[in-house]
Amino acid sequence: MFHKEGKNIILIAFFLTVVTVFVAHFYITPQWLRLTLQLTALAFLILILQFFRNPKRLVTPNFDEILAPVDGKVVVIEEVEETEYFKEKRKQVSIFMSPLNVHVTRYAASGTITFSKYHPGKYLVAWHPKSSTDNERTTVVIHTPKFGEILYRQIAGALARRIVNYAEEGEPVVQGQDAGFIKFGSRVDLFLPLDSKICVGLNQKVTGAKTCIAMLPSKDDQ
């Protein structure tokens, strides 16, 4: 199953692959060159298909956990000052996506969208310290029944040129549902309440709509 945002790119890639394979077959004489072109075209198509894959994730929504919004690796866990919306300290968890990861963004929690904004910007590499504030990005805030407001930010990377965001202010959303896509993009930041109990560690690989990122604090933690 492939994401709808990849439909046009997949069709173009398929067309170019077919053309390359047939042109090479009929017009390229050296066998090694013909096979090289054909295999390169097929490899290109496979990479495009892999990038836009959209595996079905069965989720039983719950209000006690924040789930990973994307597939990738946890690269930041720290307490920071969130300056765009909250303007106060929050716990930040950042997930980096390589080109091999699924790039679908899913809602980390159920609730109501209270803020959704697109920011044009640069295309610094995703691990650059200023990528969260300088790169092309979207900021979305979800009001949840138990965590209060949580914020996630889709951030474009060096290869990304388009972020797709489906969140609209005022609409209800369900944990695990499709929230958007980052085309050839690379990072999502979560900003959570300070009393959230983080469930992941640095460099841990996470799966969107499956891995628990944070829980409500237990009575023993309070």
**Is 186 one of the annotated active-site residues of the chain?**
yes
Per residue, what are the HEC states of the chain?
Answer: CECHHHHHHHHHHHHHHHHHHHHHHHHCCCHHHHHHHHHHHHHHHHHHHHHCECCCCCCCCCCCEEECCCCEEEEEEEEEEECCCCCEEEEEEEEECCCCCCCEEECCCCEEEEEEEEECCECCCCCCCCHHHHECEEEEEEEECCCEEEEEEEECCCCCCEEEECCCCCCEECCCCEEEEEECCCEEEEEECCCCEECCCCCCEECCCCCEEEECCCCCCC
Q: Write down the catalytic residue from 110, 131, 186, 196.
A: 186
Q: Which residues are catalytic?
A: 186
